[in-house]
Every structure is written in structure tokens, then in C-alpha cells.
Amino acid sequence: MTLNQILYFQTIAQCQHFRLAASELNISQPSLSRSIANLEEELGIILFERKGRTVTLTKYGRIFLEHADRILNEVRIAEKQMKKLSGNAGHVDIAYVFPLAARYIPHTVRQFLEKGKNKQISFSFHQSYTREMISGLKTDQYDVIFGSYVENEPDIQFVPILNQEMIVITPLGHPLAGKADPVLQDLENYPVMGYDRTSGLGGFTNRIYSSYSMKPNIICESPDENAIASLVAENFGIALVADVEILDHFPLEKIHLANVNLRHTVYMAYMKNRYQIPAVRNFISFIQKEGTHI
């Protein structure tokens, strides 16, 4: 059974006449008759009763017509949706790490949508860890992701978009906040809140400690700056974190280190050789031109 046969059947049912249906379908009447005969043979059932020059549906033809109408309606919906996606009204699935949720993602997407040709594009927003987003990127769950760089991913294009200064946060009135020239090694003198080691920033901060031969007393690992800052504000310890907007909502001391200038880079990432609809291509191009702050 083919879609053409279903369309032919529906048209004959509407016209109740093979010649009129053939004219509407722009095919010969013998070809139409053969197609329906083959369909009836395949289904093992008679769909039409011939009455002179006209035809009417059998009881079973009427049942089949209900299915045919639904099938062809779904085909029309699918065709309309595909044309919409191929034009200026597509859809983009994006995912991003927590620090970008407060401002960068909502602000950047709004700027993109305010461009005239992009107004009909819709977005789905997801928040996750970099590793989980990489998996989602590979399985087409996401079109574009924003997070840390991941090594040994040759099929993924990473584009740097943001540089975040790494600072130390402490409770208000903490001794380190009053030190004239605080250094990275000072973290070894206090309990430390760390990022989840499976996250991009968790790996980044742990590599920093290793490169400086440090072994800070990490008493707790948390998923993001919001969770870490909450604990630091309640005097559970101090932390080395990216300087993001959410920190301003907590009663904290923000300390810039005197002996090192640590910066964490955030990347946009997408699959290199995978087909992208115009909406996705336009969004990636927009980020590369106007959404990069390095």
C-alpha cells in the first residue's frame, strides 16, 4: 500500500466516479482503476461497489476511508510542519549550565528573536551539566549547548563565548577577606566548598589545585554557584567559584586573588557534520557574531 493509493482511494470516494477522480488526480482512468484493484487485492476486501458510471463505498470501504482521512491529514500536517521548520519559523533546542541561566541565555535569545527574520522561531530551554549535554547533543536531544570544553570530542565544534574570572567567596567578616594580598594557596587553610567533580567547573578547579600542588580540604561538593554560595553564606566554608551574577544575591565577601589570574571559558557547542535547519544555523551564526564576550 502506498500513499498514492490512499490518496486515489480518497479522491474516488469523494467524487464517486472513476473518470472524474482520474481527471482531478491528472492520471489516466485505466491507471487509476489498476491502482485501486491492486489495493483491494492487497487488503483482501472490496472497497467500492460499481453502479453504472458511478461508484459507492462498501461498508468496509467506509471504514477504510476513516483511516485514509486520518493518514492523509497527518501527512498534510507533517508537510506543513516541515515547511515551517525549513523557513523562518523553525525550532531550536538549547541546553546550558546554571551560571548562564540568570542573564546570558535569556538576554541573548531575546536579542536573537528581536531580529526581524527570527521572530517566528521558538526555543526549548534545558539546564544541565556539560557531560549530560554532550550526550544530548550526540542524540539530537539538543541542537546547541553552552558549557565547558570537553576533550576528545572530534565531532563537536566548540566556540568560546565567555571568560569568567575565578574568585574566592567567603562569609562576611571572614579573616581571608581582610588579608592584604590573598593568594590561591590560602584556600588550604580553611574548609572548602567545591563544585561537583563530574561537572565542567569541578574538573577545572580540581585541575587548578593539582597544577599548584594543592590539597584543599573540600568538605562538600555542590552542583552550582547557587548551592555553593548558600553554604558559604552560612559559614560552612569558603570556595573558588566563577564570578557570576547569582553571587550578588548572597551576603558574601568576593575576593580577587593577588598571585594568579584564573579564568574559566564557557563554550557554545554543536555537532560539526550534522544537518541543521535554517533556524539553528541562524542562531549559531548570531552567537558567533553578537553573543561572544571574550
The enclosing domain of 148 has a CATH number of 3.40.190.10
Domain co-membership, 144 together with 280: yes
Does the pLDDT of residue 87 top 70, yes or no? no
Residue 150 contacts residue 130 (beta carbons within 8 Å): yes
Query: Treating both helix axes as pointing N-terminal to C-terminal, what angle do 29-43 and 18-25 enclose, rounded to 10 degrees?
Result: 110
- Average confidence (pLDDT) over 75-82: 82
Does the pLDDT of residue 53 top 80, yes or no? no
Domain co-membership, 33 together with 177: no
**Cα separation, 78 vs 94, whole angstroms:** 23
Confidence of residue 82 (pLDDT cuts 50, 70, 90): confident
Domain co-membership, 148 together with 79: no
Q: Report the chain's mean pLDDT, rounded to a whole number.
A: 91
Confidence of residue 116 (pLDDT cuts 50, 70, 90): confident
Domain co-membership, 259 together with 281: no
Helix (H) or strand (E) holding 127: strand 122-127
Q: Where does 139-211 have alpha helices with state H?
A: 200-211
**Grid cell listed for 245:** 551574577
Of 41, 66, 86, the one marking the end of a domain is 86
Domain co-membership, 20 together with 73: yes
Domain co-membership, 72 together with 126: no
**Cα separation, 194 vs 104, whole angstroms:** 23
Q: What is the pLDDT of residues 97-115, one digit of tens each?
A: 988 988 899 999 999 999 8
**Cα separation, 139 vs 137, whole angstroms:** 6
Of 86, 106, 122, the one marking the end of a domain is 86
Residue 129 one-letter amino acid:
Y
Domains contained in the chain, number: 3
Give the torsion sign (CA, 195, 200, 201, 202): positive
Domain co-membership, 272 together with 285: yes
Cell 482512468 belongs to 29
Domain co-membership, 272 together with 150: yes
Q: What is the pLDDT of residues 128-153, one digit of tens each?
A: 889 899 999 999 999 999 999 998 99
Of 52, 86, 120, the one marking the end of a domain is 86
The three-state secondary structure class of 19 is helix
Helix (H) or strand (E) holding 263: strand 263-271
Which structural domain, as residue segments, surrounds residue 184? 161-265
Nearest to 134 by CA among 178, 234, 126: 126
**Grid cell listed for 291:** 553573543
Domain co-membership, 177 together with 96: no
Domain co-membership, 151 together with 272: yes
Query: Which CATH number does the domain housing residue 39 bear?
Result: 1.10.10.10
- Average confidence (pLDDT) over 196-221: 92
Domain co-membership, 196 together with 283: no
Domain co-membership, 146 together with 274: yes
Confidence of residue 198 (pLDDT cuts 50, 70, 90): confident
